[in-house]
Amino acid sequence: MEKHKVILDVDTANGMPVRDIDDGLAIAMALASPEIELLGCTTCGGNCRTRESTVNTLRILEIAGRGDIPVAEGRETPFLQDVSASFQYLERRSVKYQDFWKDMPPLAEPTLSPSPLKAHEFIIETVKKYPGEVTIVKEGSLTNLALALSVEPEIAPLVKEVVHMGGHVGPVDWERAGTPDTPGHLWWDTIRMNTEFDPEATVIVIRSGIPFRFVTGISRDVLLTPEDVDRIEAVGSPYYTFLAQTSHPWVEFNMAVRNLAGAPMWDPFTLAVVIDPSFCYFVDMRFDAERFRAWEHPYLYISPDSPQVRVSMGPVRVERVRELLLKAWTTPLS
């Protein structure tokens, strides 16, 4: 069986009110998947602040008994873009809907410490140690890798691939993209996550020539349901109990407020296509940096011009993906 050497770059927020849990469940998937060799986690901002992501990631690894996996803290802010309004909005929304989290047990502070290396230093060191073997799965922004490339641009050919959760194909109807808790215009003018959190970083990474895959929002139908969370909790160990206790409120929030059948699993799906790219289709497209920087859509489209990236397209093999995810999330760690 091929083992994929992976660095997971995450904005982990499990247990924080009204924040996605999918980064933490991507970590859980990596820990339990025999196809993945998790070399380390680097942390970034977006779903939460970078320092919060570091603490949340350390907590998951500590409860899982995997303190051997390094966690390298990344840059707190983008290269240029001011994202303070985005964080302020997320924090206000957390207060508004925090009652969904009122029955969740308090989160213990982890005793593990982050790596002495910064995230960009860890990336540089790791890809030099395993040239041509490391896939960097960017579940949040591209800031840490862009910083690594800015410090040592010669590492670009040493990276096997970047697989990134993000990107938009085609024009975007921002009002339709909204949810009852977050009007669509806020995604246009306030909230900044993933690809859009740090536009300069996105351009730096894609122009570096590293093979790059966008995993877009096609995985919206890959949901975590209450029944799935019950299966995770039934494993019975403190680690799986923690995963379930921090997942229940987010699933309930998505069902009650967003009228969904569960919580979308964007980040675990992104890691899943590293294991099996046939879970969806990928199409070669041009990344148009000028349109992207001007916030014009589409900035991904079919064209012979460079730079070229691969972009996910549906349909998604939802049941096959769910089978892989639930196997990882319900198999006791050895």
Q: What is the pLDDT of residues 69-112, one digit of tens each?
A: 999 999 999 999 999 999 999 999 999 999 999 999 999 999 99
* Burial class (CB within 10 angstroms; exposed 0-12, middle 13-18, buried 19+) of 1: exposed
Cα–Cα distance for residue pair 198/172, rounded to 1 Å: 19
Give the model confidence (pLDDT) of 126-149 as tens digits.
Answer: 999 999 999 999 999 999 999 999
pLDDT category of residue 308 using cuts at 50, 70 and 90: very high
Question: Six-digit token pair at 277?
Answer: 């790219």
pLDDT, position 173: 74
Q: Per-residue pLDDT averaged across 159-172, rounded?
A: 92
Average pLDDT value for residue range 283-308:
95
CATH number at 269 reads 3.90.245.10
Question: For 3-55, how does the pLDDT look when each residue is reduced to its tens digit (9 = 90+)?
Answer: 999 999 999 999 999 999 999 999 999 999 999 999 999 999 999 999 999 99
Are 280 and 317 contacting, i.e. CB atoms less than 8 angstroms apart? yes
Q: Which of 263, 85, 76 is nearest to 191 (CA)?
A: 85
Report the alpha-carbon angle 62-67-73, nearest 5: 90
CA torsion angle 6 9 15 16 (round to 10): -170
Q: Is 34 exposed, middle or buried (0-12, 13-18, 19+ CB in 10 A)?
A: exposed
pLDDT tens column, 174-204: 777 778 888 888 888 899 999 999 999 999 9
Considering the chain, what is the average pLDDT of its residues?
95
Q: Read off the pLDDT of each residue in 311-324 and give the average, rounded to a whole number.
A: 97
What pLDDT digit, counting tens, does each position of 197-234 carry? 999 999 999 999 999 999 999 988 999 999 999 999 99
- Mean per-residue pLDDT, 298-327: 96
Give the pLDDT confidence of 247-274 residue by residue, as tens digits: 999 999 999 999 999 999 999 999 999 9
Structure tokens at 287: 């990344």
Rounded distance between C-alpha atoms, residue 61 and residue 75, angstroms = 21
Q: How confident is the model at residue 1 (pLDDT cuts 50, 70, 90)?
A: low
Q: What is the pLDDT of residue 48?
A: 97
What is the pLDDT, as a whole number, of residue 175?
72
What's the domain range around 308?
A: 4-330
The total number of structural domains that make up the chain:
1
